[in-house]
Structure 1
């Protein structure tokens, strides 16, 4: 193994040599097998795990028998994603890809509405346009379940150590992460990272300057001024918009609970449930808008954050749900109005205002940037 691989062994995605062993671990993991059975096998069979597990394992062994590389894993994921898009969206559209060079690696920084779908759907756009898929930043808070860790690292995800709290250890982890992102880009591998930690549950898409300070740690090590280092990273802002917000009800419940009680403590396994719910729920029309690489002078993290925000908000594709919630429904068809109203009525009334505010926010912020 190269020194590059060893240097990042605890955070990087799996390489080709590690794929067969990771797949074997998944096949031996009863929790993983049970999840597959729950969502794919007939309901009655789940009551009999001693029957269901061998059947699921047998099917997966046949399906995965010839998979030995990361590229083959990606092709398998592309098949699942195509099915998911057909089942849970009315359409998925893309814009701005024509502005990007297929031979260049980029640092894609996007708004964040869904834990797994945001980078997955963005990757689908890149894959569909014969561009290389990205390495995906994912917080270690999502990797407490062993099979999730295996699945994510098989699918080109690298780990952001959010659980580290001691200042010295935190700086070490952030420096390693910053160096990994730089080295990935330098070796021709594009990166996806969200503009801030956690999803935008209130519809407010805003870049956290702390993220950009983390990126600059490697720039400091290379003794490069901030604005010069930023240009080397080839940052491309990306806007992802959903006609129907994934996990909208759960997000609204969390925000309403926070307002009432001051804090919200997630239940064990809640993030995993959010991933599954986001994948299974109807999302309507999804649009991904790729911006232009940032080339203007940004000499501070705050200036860069403002530049990223401007692109994300200005290129955000507004859906009927945004116009209706924002009180600008003149151009929305009666059919779409009725559909939105039916969805709203299926949600507890105490969450209505929070849901409407969530959908109205992009329209409001876009107006502020005009």
Structure 2
């Protein structure tokens, strides 16, 4: 057994066997049957599952490596993105270091779509796609783990509780990320913090950056970081399909001090995040972090400055900020009418009003918070103020 077998993505020589296993997985076939035939899956599921399995086997025929699988899946990803957005734009890819594998560190709003949009931009710009860090808490069903690891995902330990076990797991993760970039020459995507920024307050967790260094403690932090070729990525959604659910969680957590997820809540968030309306989406790929940072805290500050500077604010963000009762007296936020054409504003006002009306009154402050926080963060960075 290889050192990284418990967490790494599947390799080309494993793809065919995993696809064969998936096309026979009763849980996956049942889920696909319910998705494809929602009204017939109950009484006729026993008859429809073999049909779905046959279709899957036909679609997977001849796929014997990860690249062929991604080529096969890409049209489906494109159609999903086209149906759920008003367009995806990206900038900065022309500045990626040529021929260098990179460590892409991005703000985190959606479980699946954040790395999917990064890969979408890279794929359509003829850059290699990335290996994706995904928490083991999202892989509770075996077929989900198989699907993610087929798509170049590797596993981040989040469910381990023992201190010694957790330390060993993060040592392994650190070694794997370094090995991917330095030895396999494969780029990696990871979120700037564990879990989504449900309140819209994007901040890099220094603990994530310290983890990169854990497996190479004998070398200076700055030297290790320089060899990972870190690229900050700003991912900006006009609308968050999960904003209502996030507002509910934030409100309950604020009032009670805790929040317990219901069974299947992560699965529902994943599905809604993929299919729900997002409006416009923009990604900015920053320059490689070349200035030496002596520790994780200094690097986190530098990453935040780039990510927040290039976060694209849409009209809805300014509309929310104008309603917010926590406006920042230290920053100058332009009038929304100076920034966007009238037609754009009218559309945004209608959609924002619809979202407010659909949000229960007790959660509404937390909905506003999600869209207002990026405005404060962006303009504080632009003004050179601490976050």
Q: TM-score range by the shorter chain?
A: over 0.9
Q: 1:11 and 2:23 equivalent?
A: no
Q: 1:275 and 2:270 equivalent?
A: yes
Matches within 5 A, 1:240-259: 240-259=235-254
Distance 2:285 2:39 in 1: 41
Higher deviation after alignment, 301-310 or 17-26? 17-26
Q: Which residue of 2 aligns with 1:117?
A: 113
TM-score, normalised relative to structure 2 = 0.91
> Pick from 131, 145, 148: which aligns with 1:149?
145
- SS of 1:246's partner is coil
Matches within 5 A, 1:51-200: 51-186=47-182, 187-200=184-197
* Contact 1:13/1:157, CA 8 A, preserved across alignment: yes
Instruction: Measure how far apart 1:45 and its partner are.
Output: 4.1
Cα deviations across residues 158-216 of structure 1 (Å, max 9, x unaligned)?
00111222222212111111111011001210000000100000000001111111111
Q: Which residue of 1 aligns with 2:231?
A: 236
Point out where structure 1 has 5 or more consecutive residues left out of the alignment.
none
* Contact 1:109/1:238, CA 8 A, preserved across alignment: yes
Distance 2:134 2:296 in 1: 22
* Contact 1:46/1:52, CA 8 A, preserved across alignment: no
Q: Which residue of 2 aligns with 1:41?
A: 37
Instruction: Measure how far apart 1:287 and its partner are.
Output: 0.6
> Pick from 328, 338, 342: which aligns with 2:350?
338
* Contact 2:7/2:154, CA 8 A, preserved across alignment: yes
Higher deviation after alignment, 27-36 or 304-313? 27-36
Q: Which residue of 1 aligns with 2:375?
A: 363
Distance 2:346 2:118 in 1: 31
Instruction: Measure how far apart 1:46 and its partner are.
Output: 4.4
* Contact 1:239/1:290, CA 8 A, preserved across alignment: yes
Distance 2:193 2:94 in 1: 26
* Contact 1:102/1:132, CA 8 A, preserved across alignment: no
Distance 1:313 1:287 in 2: 13
* Contact 1:37/1:46, CA 8 A, preserved across alignment: no
Distance 2:98 2:69 in 1: 21
- SS of 1:136's partner is strand
Q: 1:202 and 2:199 equivalent?
A: yes
Q: Which residue of 2 aligns with 1:350?
A: 362
- SS of 2:181's partner is helix
Distance 1:367 1:267 in 2: 37
Q: Which residue of 1 aligns with 2:326?
A: none
> Pick from 6, 10, 16: which aligns with 1:20?
16
Once superposed, what is the RMSD of the aligned Cα atoms? Answer: 1.3
Distance 2:37 2:63 in 1: 23
Distance 2:42 2:286 in 1: 46
Point out where structure 2 has 5 or more consecutive residues left out of the alignment.
323-334, 383-387
* Contact 2:97/2:288, CA 8 A, preserved across alignment: no
Instruction: Measure how far apart 1:51 and its partner are.
Output: 1.5
* Contact 1:134/1:189, CA 8 A, preserved across alignment: yes
Distance 1:102 1:22 in 2: 33
How many residue pairs get aligned? The number is 364
- SS of 1:43's partner is coil
Distance 1:200 1:335 in 2: 26
